[in-house]
Amino acid sequence: MLLLKLYEKVVYGAMKGLDRIRFRGTHRWLANERGIRTFALRSNILLKNFGKWTENKTKQLRESCAARAQALGTEIIYLNKSTVRKDDLARKIAEEKGIGPDGSICMFSVVEPCWAPSVSGNRASKRLELNMRQRKCVFLYHYFDDPEFGFGHVRLQSWLPMSAHVCLNGRHWLEKQMNNAGIRFVKSGNCFPWVEDLPAAQRMLDAQLETDWPKLLNRLVLNCCPDMEALLAPFDFNYYWSADETEYATDVLFHSEKELSALYPSFIRHAMTVSDSPSVMRYLGKGGSEFSGKVRGTIPNEIITDLRRRAEGVRIKHFVNNNSVKMYNKSGSVLRIETTINNTRDFKVFRASHDEPSGPASWKKMGKGVNDLHRRCQISERSNERYADTLSAAKVSETLQAVAAPACNPIQCAGRRHRALNPWNKEDHQLLLFLAKGEHALNGFRNKDLRAFLDPSASPAEKANTATRASRWNPMGEAKVSRLRTRSSAALFPRNT
């Protein structure tokens, strides 16, 4: 990475790997109307009895989760609002009540929207019909701080098709790995400002991609609901696992917060001015001409760049087709570049067809299945590298403020002290803009010229009030008067600038 070479004096390393991952498990037989009809037929379930049968399955699932919570020594907490920040609440409960021996924290029960089958009568055909439609049902959240994988949760839909979501975080997972290996580190949130052995930590992050994901995720679901296998008999318990959302982060570790803070404003400005639409497309793997600025292929409907100040730092984010690449300063001394992929169809993977695993491999549109996760991480890693290489063009040895500071000093003129001007002060910035106009360079300027620039909408009475003095501009409409005489060039043009 070019960024590491350019700033090798202030950077001591980098680490890259999975951050937040949200998996979705579905039973393919139950994920659509045709599959559910087949399931009902093979299970000898009549449509007129389908409602009672599903209610019974829902009851069994909730009883299984309740029994498991009791066995784990945790409680099921009902939340009357689905907008509650469940992660924060689970962490608070873990701090107050502790964590069980197996890592269990609590279970939440909350009503949320879902897609579920429904049987209704068709007046035209005078027959019962089964359709999938949006409804509301109870979801169960099992939060844990697993000894092996760290903080995460399992989300189970209590109604058919009983889909599951599992959220894990690669950085929390790495924390457990380093603890088990005896590697010292400093952790802040979900990043590591300092790690004793960076190469070893990187090997652990790489090893996460070799996980048998279906085996791991099925185990986490069964830990929440042990009776899930029996609920779906006579069919085998076999979720199809896909990655709905993946975040892949590259952390550049600076020696101190001061060193990153001095450079980060230039990175932000560079990202805002250089990262135009074709550039953002190239970060995320869309080809284009470097000279014409045009993007080859299908142009997305919208490309957005968003800049926000958050609690952990200033974040800039670029969106394309529900995918994004962003940069922010984490924990003061960590520069994080992160690619998030939600829409995998924008990318391709070289593999055999799912229908013919032993057949010839070819480039195919990437799916969300976990079998394409390794390629997905590879694309995200390269996206982060391209973004970091773009930032390397913003390399500066000194900031503008450091260069200009020696010239901004107070002076003595005709036995009188005149204060220094501060270009980063809003009021002084307006004065400097006036001086930079250039139209008064030959003949100078008068008091009314300055007042007309600072407040062109002032009434005659207001202009008369400030006729003998120049005032600092206040956006609230009040004039904070200083004894800055515009007739004295020494006051506005210090000799040492």
Residue 490 has pLDDT above 50, yes or no: no
SS3 content of the chain, % helix, strand, coil (to 5): 35, 30, 35
pLDDT in tens, 284-324: 766 544 434 444 455 555 667 777 776 667 888 888 888 89
The DSSP secondary-structure symbol of 473 reads: -
- Domain residue spans of the chain: 1-23+244-397, 28-238, 404-492
pLDDT in tens, 148-165: 999 999 999 999 999 999
* Peptide linkage before 406 cis (omega within 30 of 0): no
Q: What is the percent of the chain where pLDDT is above 70?
A: 83
Q: Which CATH architecture has domain 1-23+244-397?
A: 2-Layer Sandwich (3.30)
Residues 6+ apart with CB under 8 A from 75: 69, 106, 107
Assigned token pair, 488: 């004295």
Q: For residues 32 and 131, what is the distance between their CA atoms, to the nearest angstrom?
A: 9
Coil/strand/helix, residue 230: helix
Average pLDDT, stretch 83-104?
Answer: 90
pLDDT in tens, 470-479: 544 433 333 3
17, 78, 163, 324 from 20: Cα distances, Å: 10, 26, 20, 14
pLDDT in tens, 316-357: 888 888 889 999 998 889 999 999 999 998 889 998 887 788
Assigned token pair, 17: 């790997």
pTM higher than the cut 0.85: no
Assigned token pair, 437: 């106009």
Q: How far is CA 256 from the centre of its chain?
A: 23
Q: Torsions phi, psi of 209, nearest 5?
A: -70, -10
Coil/strand/helix, residue 413: strand
User: What is the per-residue pLDDT for 492?
Assistant: 41
User: What is the per-residue pLDDT for 400?
Assistant: 67
Q: Torsions phi, psi of 259, nearest 5?
A: -70, -40
User: What is the per-residue pLDDT for 177?
Assistant: 96
